[in-house]
Amino acid sequence: MKFIFSFTILFFVFIFNAFCEEGSYEYSNVGSHNLAKVNTLDGSVTGGKLEGISIVMKSKGNLYQVGQNSETTCIILSKKESKSKNSALEAFCESTDLETGDKTFAYNIRKDGTADTGSKGRGKQTIIGGTGKYKGISGECNYTVKYLPNNKLATVGTCDYKI
């Protein structure tokens, strides 16, 4: 009886793992932003929309392919206290695979740098789900963003995922 129970458990673990994928990818994103800033009693708050195009530069796994492009839209909120050189930034993002239309959703946190022109900083992105081929995806990315003149920005990142 123990053998049958153990065999059944191992069988389901094997089947589950056979349909799971883990991988990683590196990406580059260039885009533009439409941000507004207001002053507060002890600093400032910046918010708005970021839009850009990402390309996968390196990939391990089958889900993401080198050269794959996606369109990304983020809504950000960045709070900066007057005593600090850094801001606390949060963003929710939606990325759409330009070939399939499938989407991923992510939540970003960055406490390094600001959203001002010339500023750059590192942050963490949590992949919180997706549609189509990305359904059930989760993962984490580390990224670096730089805010450029004329409302432009550039981002590079490395992500680990499982689905």
Report how far Cα 14 is from the mean position of its chain's Cα atoms. 30
User: What is the rounded CA–CA span in Å between residue 84 and residue 148?
Assistant: 21
Domain ranges of the chain: 22-162
User: What is the rounded CA–CA span in Å between residue 65 and residue 77?
Assistant: 31
DSSP-based three-state secondary structure for 78: strand
Q: What is the reported pLDDT for 7?
A: 47
- Cβ partners under 8 Å of residue 8, min gap 6: none
Write the pLDDT tens digit of every residue in 30-85: 999 999 999 999 999 999 999 999 999 999 999 999 999 999 999 999 999 999 99
Q: How confident is the model at residue 91 (pLDDT cuts 50, 70, 90)?
A: very high
From the candidate CATH numbers 3.30.450, 3.40.1000, 2.40.160, 3.10.110, the one assigned to the domain spanning 22-162: 2.40.160
